[in-house]
Structure 1
Amino acid sequence: MVGPGSWGIAGNPISHSPTPRMFSIVGEYLGIEAHQIYIESSSIEDFVEKTSQIKDDIWVSCTSPLKHSAPTGLGVKSPGSVGAVNQLMRSGGYWSGANTDGLGFVSACRHIGVDPSIATLRIRGGGSAARSIAAVWSSEGGSIITETGRRALSSGPWDDRILESGQADLAVDLDASPAGGKSADLEGDMQVSVSYAKGASADEFAIMMLAAQHLHAWKTLFAPPRENDLPNLTEFLSRL
């Protein structure tokens, strides 16, 4: 398999992200090498300008604000109820994308022993990560209790899994600031954070989720034919 010329992370802030290293670790499993890149961009226009200077194919994970503007700015498809992508691939001059936030969250939950199909999740926030997680969590059969943060969770395919009240098995504040921002305290048997700081360890839930969504990106976007050659989440985390 021929890989890209460069892979890495794009958005702002990104200096704390281990994603470029994650690309290289998975690349070792598949026999692919590429140049690691950090593309610090606060607008899709700036991202387009910077990537236009890179002539080879590019694979990147992207954070805010790019994940929201990429569908319209690059003309890539995103899940209709989510309206954002967190993985981008430029191949032969054309961009494509995927959203693996929800898939990564659910996989990380299973990794720590929480079964979404029988669990209730309390979510604070209504941004693209919240919508992606709500979509996958509800599709697994789990229930959701919402907490309004900067914005409320909008209506979507998860509506019939929303509970007005009750006890949550798991809680997550998706309005926590990036790069290790503090989460609001939420009611639940367990609370996890999806925000990580530079140097975060592989036993932190946020890194488990990041690793899981990265593996899903290889399965669904970067290298679907090589899915069976990818490490599992436990193996991957042991390399970080």
Structure 2
Amino acid sequence: MKVPEYWGIIGFPVEHSLTPELFRIVGDYMGIEGPETVFIEARNIEELTMKMGHLSGNFWLSVTSPLKHLLYKKFEIEDGNEIQAVNQITNIEGNFRGVNTDGLGFIEAIKYCGIEINESVLKMKGGGSTARSIAYQWTKNGGKIIVVKGRRDLGMGPWSGSIIKCNEFDVSINFDSMPGTNNNGDILSKEYTTISYNRDYYREDFAIIMLVAQHLEAWKTLFLTENIENIPSIDYILNKL
């Protein structure tokens, strides 16, 4: 495994992000030493290029809005044309790679909360790339979705054949919540839960569980090339926050 010189997060806003702390916790657990933590706030690729100009070496970076929507075309990711976002990127010796772990992390977080996905119903308000990534993975795992009109449309995709109309659902997510907001959501509640958070979070918030899960998926699918089975559990990381 090639250890990067830098790890952290890019996007805007990122000052509230727990991702650099997650890098530290997992890195300590895996015995990784040396990477410098970076928070890079950028609203567009030009600003990102300018601010990353001083970084010399390999990096592992999590990507949030709006950059996740601007960078995805530079990477080959699973169903990238439908999801239209990348949330994890690496540069190792000039080899750039990217993945989207939003949907994968959602699935693992739901399983952590004790919910069986196959034939379960997810009620989704609004759209956006995270919603599309989740809809893709949810229906890929046998779930059904109810689509509720919001600020943004979910749109058509591989999930379209699994859209149903009914009043009963198992999980409901409001994708219209702005970044950096928090409703201290319980995924088992019949009220809408958000997947956004701020500094007033609780470890039990579903948004935090999902954040941890999608970060671990990045280690599994992108960052690590060996010892993948040795990464810490969701519980371990939550207890360290």
Q: Give the SS at the match of 1:85.
A: coil
Identity rate, percent: 40
Q: Which residue in the other structure is 1:235 paired with?
A: 236
Q: Do the aligned partners of residues 226 and 135 (structure 1) sit closer, same or farther apart at CA in structure 2, a change above 3 Å counting? A: same
Structure 1 residues without counterparts, runs of 5 or longer: none
Paired AA for residue 161 in structure 1: S
Q: Does 1:2 align with 2:13?
A: no
SS at match of 2:173: strand
- Cα distance in 2 for partners of 1:202, 1:32 equals 24
Give the corresponding residue for 1:192.
193
Contact 1:193/1:206 (CA < 8 Å) preserved in 2?
Answer: yes
Report the RMSD for the aligned CA atoms in angstroms: 1.6
The reply on whether 1:211 has 2:212 as its aligned counterpart is yes
Work out whether residues 10 and 39 of structure 2, in 8 Å CA contact, stay in contact via their aligned partners in 1. yes
**Deviation at 1:116?**
1.5
Corresponding position: 1:127 with 2:128? yes
1:13-36 residue CA offsets vs partner (Å, 9 max, x unmatched): 111111001001111122112111
SS state at 1:163 partner: coil
CA-CA distance at 1:199 after TM superposition: 4.2
Tell me whether 1:11 sits opposite 2:23 in the alignment: no
Q: Give 1:19's aligned amino acid.
A: T
The answer for the alignment partner of 1:160 in structure 2 is 161
Q: The residue matched to 2:118 in structure 1 has which SS?
A: helix
Counterpart contact for 1:124–1:175, Cα < 8 Å: yes
Q: Which structure 1 residue ranges, 4+ long, deviate > 4 Å from structure 2? A: none
- 1:238: Cα distance to partner? 1.4
8 A Cα contact 1:219 1:226, kept in partner: no
Matches of 1:179 and 1:163, distance apart in 2: 31
Instruction: Give 2:76's aligned amino acid.
Output: K
Corresponding letter in the other structure for 1:166 = N
- Structure 2 equivalent of residue 81 of structure 1: 82
Letter in 1 for 2:19: T
- So what's the TM-score if we normalise by structure 1? 0.92
Matches within 5 A, 1:1-240: 1-33=1-33, 34-72=35-73, 75-78=74-77, 79-180=80-181, 189=190, 191-240=192-241
What per-residue deviation string (whole Å, max 9, x for no partner) do you get for residues 178-199 of structure 1?
111569xxxx735422010114
* Residues 7, 36 of structure 2: 8 Å contact kept: yes
Q: Distance in 1 between matches of 2:162 and 2:226?
A: 34
Shift of 1:128: 0.3
Length-normalised TM-score, structure 2: 0.92
